[in-house]
Amino acid sequence: MSFQEYLKYLTKLFVQYMDTPKDERRQRKAPREPWSARWFGAIPMAIRLLWRK
C-alpha cells in the first residue's frame, strides 16, 4: 500500500467519522468490563459465583 492510498483511506475514515452525528458516535462505545475481568479473564467471576453459593 503506497502512502497516497493510505492517506486516501485515512481521509475517507475521517470524513465518515465527521459525518456521523455526535450523539451516534457516543452511543457506539460499549461499557467496559471490570478491571479484574480484563486482567484475569473469567476466573474472578467463577470465584465470585462459588463464593456466593
pLDDT > 70? residue 18: yes
Query: What cell does 29 get?
Result: 462505545
Please, are residues 44 and 36 in contact by the beta-carbon 8 Å criterion? Answer: yes
Higher pLDDT, 35 or 29: 35
pLDDT at 46: 84
Nearest to 37 by CA among 28, 52, 49: 49
Tell me the HSE value of 17 on the side-chain side, using a 13 A CA sphere. Answer: 7
CB–CB of 16/25 below 8 Å?
A: no
**Domain boundaries, position 22:** 3-52
Sequence-separated (6 or more) residues with CB below 8 Å from residue 33? none
Q: Is the confidence at residue 28, as pLDDT, over 70? A: no
Q: How many domains does the chain have?
A: 1
Model confidence at 34, in pLDDT bands (50, 70, 90)?
Answer: confident
